[in-house]
């Protein structure tokens, strides 16, 4: 699969919703100053800004999660708590993950 964007950060149109994805790329993009600045600049323009999984690390690096209750992929809880202490971590998803894993194991028996 190949992704070909129609816009760059410089000429992207206004969005109603900005969804910041997670995954392996988020752990490098969170240190990309251009990406972080662009995300910050869009905060006042969008109606909804949200992240999926470790995309929360990008929003945290941009300072957009300060004072908020947040969550991320269970494997990044420690990083989020240690590197971004100005938000409250809700690790409910860890409990959900463990419950789901137990359910899947029971189904396989």
Is residue 99 scored above 70 in pLDDT?
no
Q: Which of 20, 53, 60, 62 is catalytic?
A: 53
Confidence of residue 94 (pLDDT cuts 50, 70, 90): low
pLDDT digits (tens, 9 = 90+) for 2-59: 889 899 999 999 999 999 999 888 889 999 999 999 999 999 999 999 999 899 999 9
Q: What is the mean pLDDT of the chain?
A: 85
Q: Who's near 54: CB < 8 A, 6+ residues apart?
A: 22, 23, 26, 27, 72, 73, 76
Reply yes or no on whether 81 is catalytic.
Answer: no
How far is CA 61 from its chain centroid?
10
């Amino acid at each position: 699969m190949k992704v070909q964007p129609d816009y760059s950060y410089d000429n992207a149109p206004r969005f109603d919703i900005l969804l910041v994805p997670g995954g392996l790329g988020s752990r490098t993009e969170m240190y990309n100053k251009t990406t972080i600045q662009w995300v910050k600049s869009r905060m006042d323009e969008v109606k909804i800004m949200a992240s999926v999984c470790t995309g929360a690390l990008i929003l945290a690096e941009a300072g957009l999660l300060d004072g908020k209750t947040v969550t991320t992929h269970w494997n990044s809880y420690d990083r989020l708590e240690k590197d971004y202490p100005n938000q409250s971590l809700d690790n409910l998803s860890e409990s959900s993950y463990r419950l789901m894993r137990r359910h899947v194991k029971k189904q396989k028996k």
